[in-house]
Copies of this chain bind each other. A is one copy, B any other.
Amino acid sequence: MIGVFDSGVGGLTVVKEIKKAMPDCSIVYFGDTARYPWGNKNAETVQRYSEEICIFLIAQGVEDIVIACNTASTFAGDYLRKKFPKINFFNVIDPVVDRIKLELSAEKNQKRNIRAGVIGTRGTIESRVYEKKIKKNNPTVGIISQACPLFVSMVEENMTSHPAAKIIVDEYLKKIKKAKVDFLVLGCTHYPLLEKVIRKSIGNVAMISSAKEVAKELLRRKNIREDFKEKDIFYFSDVSNHYDKLTRKILGKKIKIIKKAL
């Protein structure tokens, strides 16, 4: 059983890709909907919430945990590894950075002045985690970053098709659009749920998001235990009326949600 957690439904984009890559694996998911969004909270708060969730997931018997949230990967990745040394943690940032490294090495010397756009929560963007990690491998890449603080709320509110969504996305992406980036990193697991409207806004730019890359990383690493006989379980710390629809839209099937306050 693999534990996966996020501030809300965003991590389900990761679950979907894990299930595609490993259809027989079983997942125990925790979405902290009672305390989302995390993207504008400080490191200490995100660490505390993440730790509480990991204690819960470990009590459910998981030994592998996917931190399916960029903000938590940024602020709590190292913290959790120290707190729970026996657990294999997977964050959503490193597999994306590795993928970019690979892509750029393939293009080596073919293209100059490569520019990457990175969008994420305020926490992720202000930490400059993607910028530092990408530039470590590829110092010449130009990074244009933009925090998009309302995106997570728009997703959790199921407003991705709302007329306001396009306007907000246009507003946030102005700078990145102007910079004519070669690719765009969706640095938050909620953002693939806004992909259509981001696509409309930014046009035909390659997008890289965590979900697929993390699923590949899980497949690649040998130490995942394959006791994949159990059913998936989805815990949310708060359940509003629209979560049935929203989770069905993301996963393409109805799931049973268990309310679990921490």
Contacts and interface: CB of A to CB of B under 8 A. Distances in A.
Q: What is the count of identical protomers in the complex?
A: 2
Contact of A159 (B45, B150, B239, B240): B150
Interface in A132-185: 149-150, 153-154, 156-157, 159, 162-164, 167-168, 171-172
Interface in A192-224: none
Nearest to A170: B164
Nearest to A41: B238
A238 B42 contact: yes
Contacts of A33: 41
Interface in A212-262: 237-240, 261
Interface string A27-55: 00000011101001110010010000000
A163 B172 CA distance: 10
Given A157-B149, A238-B42, A239-B42, A48 B261 contact: yes
A154 B167 CA distance: 14
Interface residues on A, range: 20 to 34
Nearest to A239: B42
A238 B45 contact: yes
Contact of A34 (B41, B153, B168, B171): B41
A41 B240 contact: yes
A33 B37 CA distance: 10
A261 B42 CA distance: 12
A40 B150 contact: no
Contact of A150 (B35, B48, B153, B237): B153
12 contacts: A33-B41, A34-B45, A35-B35, A37-B153, A41-B240, A42-B239, A45-B238, A45-B261, A149-B159, A150-B150, A150-B157, A163-B171
